[in-house]
Amino acid sequence: MKKLTPLIVGSMMMMGITSGAWSVIITNIKLSFHLSDGNLGIILAFGVLGSVIVNLTVGKHLIRFGIPVVLRFALFLWGIFFFLAVNVHLPIIFAVLIILASIGTGLVDVSLNIEAAKLLSKSPGKLLRFHGVYNIFFASGSLFASLLLFTNSSFRVVGTLESTLLIICAILPNKRFKLAFTNNSVGEDVETKKGTSKVQANEDRPKTPVHKGHFLSLKILKKEHLLGMAFVLAASTLVEGSVGNWGILFARTTLKMNVVVASIGVIVGQVLASLLRFSGPTLLKSLSARRFTIIGSSGAAIGILLEISGINTLISIFGLGIATLSISLCWPLIIADSNRATVHPELSLSAITAGGYVGLLLGPALVGEVSSASTLRAGLLVVVASGIATALLRSVVHPKYKTES
């Protein structure tokens, strides 16, 4: 049975909690600093741009220092800069600090994804299940932040609590413990009467070369013919990064819902997404990871269309929940499929994750600019188009798995 560590599991929990809380407090931040949709989009885009650069260059450092060391550093960086960002009062200082915090977020994300993909390698269902931890804690973070704001607490209180948890997470032990993944499949330990025979999915991978050059990850990505998967992840993350932030912002500003009602769709969607991801090994017995990615991205596009239809409040909340649920399938399955096709996961997966951050980079900028020029409803049509693009791209991109060669 594969083993994960408190540091890895705790980091995934914090990714969920902070993302969920951020999707709720972003409206309060926008109003407090008097930011337009376009200004907010530009700030978020610059933060993600920093993450893209870090992800493209961090591969060799993950090899040199080890993922746990880099992960702890990133958690500290994220926690400290986020604390400072939510407690300043000048918009320009907030912008600089939140960009630095976003770089820490990106470094946590890539380190976490690579380590999880290696430990749960060749088992997309198990990686999907592990990512269910993110969804359940996203829902918890959203609910917690919504209730605090509903009781007239400041977004600064929410941000300070998040920062404290991030720093605590950075000092969690890295000793492995058994996580209750009970479905045996390729890549997990097999118990026998004689003892434990470990089926190491990555044991035949050659030692990763550490050459000079800042963009070795991108070179490896091209060599292994995984560039298409980076584009797929970019299109899907544009959707995933926009559903929570812009979806709730649309519900609170355009549809005039209060903070709790506006968050219900995302919270319920995240809870259902966690259940869907927890059943990953069973689901993937019926359909391939590629087909589930296509279904998920298509469902997200339909969900956003329902939200912005404006038929009534219930339909909009339902649509936001469907979008949240559907897009949750994409990220872990794209990473899992890519991991099965690479012999240098530290390098290729960091480059593919950088592709995901390109989507997160483009999302705020595109939605924000279209919203400023027209309406937020029009801006969310960009998200719909990206969901459709993800489905089309994944239908034509076919990684060559190493087990097939």
What is the structure's pLDDT at 217? 62
- Supply the mean pLDDT for the chain: 82
First to last CA, the chain: 27
Give residue 218's pLDDT band: very low, low, confident or very high (50, 70, 90).
low
Q: Is the pLDDT of residue 201 over 80?
A: no
Residue 4 CA to residue 180 CA, distance in Å, equals 10
Using DSSP, state whether 3 is helix, strand or coil. Answer: strand
By percentage, how much of the chain surpasses pLDDT 90?
35
Strand segments (E) across 60-159: none
Give the domains, in start order, of the chain with CATH numbers. 3-177+214-404 (1.20.1250.20)
What is the structure's pLDDT at 211? 47
374: enclosing H helix or E strand:
none
Axis crossing angle, helix 91-119 with helix 330-339, rounded to the nearest 10: 50
Strand segments (E) across 129-282: 177-178, 189-192, 195-198
Please write down the long-range contacts of 194-199, taking CB distance under 8 Å and 24 or more positions apart: none
Pair 215, 334: CB distance under 8 Å: no
- CA distances 110 to 9, 68, 101, 360, Å, are 14, 12, 15, 14
What is the structure's pLDDT at 293? 93
Q: Is the pLDDT of residue 192 over 50?
A: no
Span of 24-33, 123-132, 379-388 with lowest mean pLDDT? 123-132
Q: Could you tell me which residue, 348 or 20, shows the higher pLDDT?
A: 20
The pLDDT tens digits of the residues spanning 80-131 come to: 999 999 999 999 999 999 999 988 988 898 888 788 877 776 666 777 788 8
Q: Is the pLDDT of residue 381 over 90?
A: yes
Phi and psi, residue 295, nearest 5°: -65, -45
Phi and psi, residue 4, nearest 5°: -115, 165
What is the structure's pLDDT at 215? 55
Give residue 187's pLDDT band: very low, low, confident or very high (50, 70, 90).
very low
Mean pLDDT for the stretch of residues 206-221: 55
User: Tokens standing for 45?
Assistant: 């885009």
Pair 323, 307: CB distance under 8 Å: yes
What is the structure's pLDDT at 219? 74
CA atoms in the 13 A half-sphere facing the CB of 178: 6
Mean pLDDT for the stretch of residues 274-295: 83
Residue 86 CA to residue 78 CA, distance in Å, equals 12
* Full 3-state SS string of 31-74: HHCCCCHHHHHHHHHHHHHHHHHHHHHCHHHHHHHCHHHHHHHH
Mean pLDDT for the stretch of residues 367-389: 92
Q: What is the b/e burial string over 12-42, where b = at least 16 CB atoms within 10 angstroms of the residue's CB? A: bbbbbbbbbbbbbbbbbbbebbebebbbbbb
Residue 114 CA to residue 102 CA, distance in Å, equals 18
Pair 387, 266: CB distance under 8 Å: no
Q: Is the pLDDT of residue 132 over 80?
A: yes
The pLDDT tens digits of the residues spanning 33-91 come to: 999 888 888 888 888 888 878 777 776 677 778 888 889 999 999 999 999 999 999 99
Mean pLDDT for the stretch of residues 17-24: 91
What is the structure's pLDDT at 214? 45
What is the structure's pLDDT at 127? 77
What does DSSP assign to residue 282? H
The pLDDT tens digits of the residues spanning 295-343 come to: 999 999 999 999 998 788 889 999 999 998 999 889 888 988 888 777 7
Amino acid, res. 122: K
Mean pLDDT for the stretch of residues 359-368: 82
Q: Could you tell me which residue, 349 or 170, shows the higher pLDDT?
A: 170
Model-wide pTM > 0.75: no
Give residue 216's pLDDT band: very low, low, confident or very high (50, 70, 90).
low
Amino acid, res. 135: N
Span of 14-28, 142-156, 169-183, 250-264 with lowest mean pLDDT? 169-183
> Cβ-count burial of 340 within 10 angstroms (0-12 exposed, 13-18 middle, 19+ buried)?
buried
Mean pLDDT for the stretch of residues 172-196: 48
